[in-house]
Structures are given as structure tokens and as C-alpha cells.
A and B are shown apart, each in its own frame.
Chain A
Amino acid sequence: MSAHHQDQHPLVPYRVYVVVWAALLALTAITVGVSYLDLNHVAILSALLIATVKGSLVLMYFMHIRFEKPLYVFMILAVMATYGIFIGLTFSDYSYR
């Protein structure tokens, strides 16, 4: 390995990506299937829950967060905390109007 590679993650096997893709397709099938059950209020919650699982898979494997240094996890948590503050402030304002 050359100097350029010294701080990069080890090669991820192709197979890992294919397994993640299959899991994402399965979760898509599940979320579409659940939407036909007419769950009403739970429908949005379950759709968001499945989307969060899918999003985490994309972040962890396709975007390599699982193989990177912890720095990237901290940065993502900081952004999520910031976004959480946005949501909290918006809804605390909106709820008491």
C-alpha cells in the first residue's frame, strides 16, 4: 500500500454492498406493504421508522461511516442535535400560538 492509502479504510468486499442493497429493497417492500394495512396514525410513524433504518444503512455502509474514524460520527451527531434544536424550537413556538 502506498502512502496515499495509509489513512484509508481497508477495502470493503463487494458482497457487503450487495447484502446492504438487498436489505434496503426488503425494507422498501415492507414499508409499501405496511402502507396497505390502513394503520392511519401509526402509518406515518412506521413509515418514518423504516425510513430511518434504511437511511442508517445507507450512512453506515454506502457512505462508509462504519469504516471511518469516530470524527465523522461526532460530526453527524452534532448536525442531528442542531436539527433537533430546530425541530424543538419550531414546535414549541407552533404549539403555543
Chain B
Amino acid sequence: MSWLRVGLLASLGALVLNLLPAWRTGLGPTRQPVAVPGAPLPRQFGKPVYAPAQNPPNRSTFELGRRLFYDARLSADGTVSCGSCHQQARAFASPERLSRGVGGRLGLRNAPALQNLPWRRTFFADGGPKHLETLPLAPLTNPREMGTTLADVLAKLNADSAYARQFAAVYGRRPISSYQLLRALAQFTAALTSAQSRYDLHVRHAAGGHFTAAEQRGQALFGAKCGSCHATDLFTDGSFRNNGLNRRFAQDSGRVVVTFLAADRGRFAVPSLRNVARTAPYMHDGRFGTLAQVLAHYDHGMVESPTLDPVFRGPGGRLGIPLTAAEQRDLLAFLATLTDEAFCQAPDFADPGRRAGEAAFAGKRTARSSRAAVARR
């Protein structure tokens, strides 16, 4: 028996040695082991739904997923990658009102931020996708997004010798399968942890976490008026609610398309507010360009519909959350503390094909313009 084990180890060793050159030719770093971005998990978020043990993180798989995320060749006409709409400087959200896919086609919704995904049970504004690994199948095949088929994507990957080497180095088995593709992508998306905002420093009483008087007032107001839905340190309770955007929801009926339940008409996922100052425009359809407009909507812009969330029904039939001008200013100050600069600029999360520093520059530009937007009010 022991000679067999020795032989087995030797052949495994030979296999690993054979694969090493592939690592070197890949875009990933060659040093092993290297800490995988996104680890360790922030304790304040609690137990993740998608635990690291389900897809144990390692640097080469992460780098493979990262490369796939930014590769526009995966789309039908080679123009759209995941990263086209999910831009790092904007916490992986899109600045366009509606996402723009292959052939310049407009999508039906605003591309949401990608952050802290392992803690989510469902994805999209309607909660349709139920697992982080299978989620990318939707944007890949949606004719308004990447417009391709899974078979085409796999054919392209298998025809590319660099990908073939990189996948073989990670998974050892050819050809590249949907399983390998989806698992590699999930290593990148699962690593997009945002927990280094000034708010995080503040609650940990860490250096740099000082809040101004306005930010402190805003935090208290937030807890009292927003925190029941934008709950926990993830800033969402994971529920679906109708927040009074439409009377009939003819354009996009929300969660009902997933559940077929009339009570879900007009209900949309409560988004996390982490990095919210970076993720404009807002709402599932990107209708509000600024956070000030969002607060104005909650104060006096809501419209009646049968499934309007009861939390918005006030005394005397008043709809919404009353907020004075001063309160709105304080809330905006607090919401800006949820911006995680390190996350939005982390070189590890940037397009590996882009020049170093480009993403950081874009991030600074956005920070300046959003500060200016806040200052204007």
C-alpha cells in the first residue's frame, strides 16, 4: 500500500510542477500562498450565506475570476464585460440610469452595487437569482446585457490558450466547464467585501473614525427613520418592499415576476446603503440622480398603491417619512460616511488589463464630484 501512496504523491507532485508554468504565464501573481482579498470576513456582518468553505478562496482562482469579470470578449459582440456596468470606483454600480448592453441596448434596470454578496440570499431588485454562483448566467444570456449563450462563452474560453492554461492550473481538468467558470467568477464576486468606511472606523472607535456633529445627528436620525429596513451593518434587512415609486408598476412590477404573488407587485429589494454616495443614480430604475432627490421622495414624493409598505403609512393618511431640510442635510452627511475609499480603489479589484492607477483616478474624480454635489445643497 505504501509504495502506491508514494507513487501517487510523486505523480501529484509532477502534476503540480507541470502546472506551475501556467501560473507564471497567467495574469495572477506567482507567489504562493498570498492572502486572498476579501478575507478575513468582517465579523459584524454575521455568518455568510455563501461561506468560504463552499468555494475555498485561493489567489489563482480569484485572479481567474477577476480576469473573467473584466473580459468583454465573453459578451456576444465583445463590447460588454461584467465590469462595464459594475464599475469599481462606484462600488461596482453603474452611473448610467439603465444598464447598457451589447449593441448599445438599454436594460430595464439600473445596475446595482456589488459588495458583501456572500451575505445575501437573493440577488437583483426582484430576488430572482438565489445563488451567487449561478447569478452570472442571467447577465451573460440576457439579450439586453451580454447577449450570449453559456455554450458560446465556454467555446470562446476553450479556444483561448491562455484561459485554457489558467483554468487547468486551477481545476486540473479540461475542457473548461460551466462549473469551473461559475466557481471562478464567484471567487471574485464573493471577495468584494466593503467594511472599511469611515462609519466602520467610527463604530470601532478606530483612528480616522471621528464624526462631525452633523454626521452624528445624521446617524441618530438614520437609526430612527431608516434603520428598520436598512438594518444591521449590512444596511439592509434583505426584504422586498414597495417604497411608493409608482401607482401601477406597469413598466417593472418587481418581485411579483419571480413569485407570481399579487402582494409582491411593486416590491423591490431593499438595497444596502454601503457606498451609497458612490452608487448614483438610485432606485431599481435609476430615476433619482442624487441622494437629495431620494430623501425628497421619502419626505413628500411617495404615491399610493395597494402594496405600499405599511412602514410608510403615517397618521392621517400621510405617506412617507417626514424629514426637515436640516434633517435631510444631516442624513446626507451620515450617508457619505458609508463610502469605503479603500474598496473603491483597491488594486486587487481593478481591471487587471488596465493601467495601474486608472481606477484610483476615476475614484478620486467621483469623490470630488459627489462632495461638490453635497456641498451645493
A and B part of one assembly: no
